[in-house]
Amino acid sequence: MIDELIDAVIDREGGYVRHPADRGGATRYGITEAVARANGYVGDMRQFARPAAMAIYRRAYWQQPGLDRVATRAPKLAAELFDTGVNMGPATAVTFLQRALNALNRGASDYPDVPLDGRVGPATLAALDRFLATRGTAAQAVLVKAIDSLQGERYLSLAEKRPADEAFLYGWLAQRVG
């Protein structure tokens, strides 16, 4: 599953880009120079290799945030969280999940609220398991909609706060939400 998700992100992100309005600076395959450097890459971003990008996506955007554990329970949700995390950071994506789980637990009567710590730990997994068991077959789709909603709102907010981000808003909404 993760290989297909990574390939789709790399295909969507494309090769080398250095957009003047992008605070992330130079990117290749959607990996920013800062992320590449943090993962040991020292060369020119124009030469950053696809296998290196794939390894970073697998480790830093799938395994470390615990999305592999979400995938065993709700693969479509894990895919949405991965895509959100690639664009906004894995901790933001997981925090969106935690917020949604807390808002959907009917006043903590279905399961306790989980801390908004941006990590898929035992409390988040227990809440997810309980939500899926309690809400049935539509539960995963509802969580995906919640993540999409939070993501879309964040993109709009970014563009409102920083006019330079308006250059990206249309693409974010067209390619990342829903």
Contact criterion met (CB below 8 Å) for 128 and 112: no
pLDDT 10s digits, 88-144: 899 999 999 999 999 999 999 999 999 999 999 999 999 999 999 999 999 999 999
Lay out the sheet containing 16-17: strands in order across: 16-17, 27-28, 31-32
Check residue 135 and give its pLDDT: 97
Check residue 170 and give its pLDDT: 82
Burial 100-119 (b: 16+ CB within 10 A, else e): bbbebbeeeeebeebeeebb
What is the CA 123 to chain-centroid distance, rounded? 19
Q: Give the DSSP H or E segment for 27.
A: strand 27-28
Please tell me the distance from the alpha carbon of residue 173 to that of residue 168, in angstroms, as a whole number.
Answer: 9
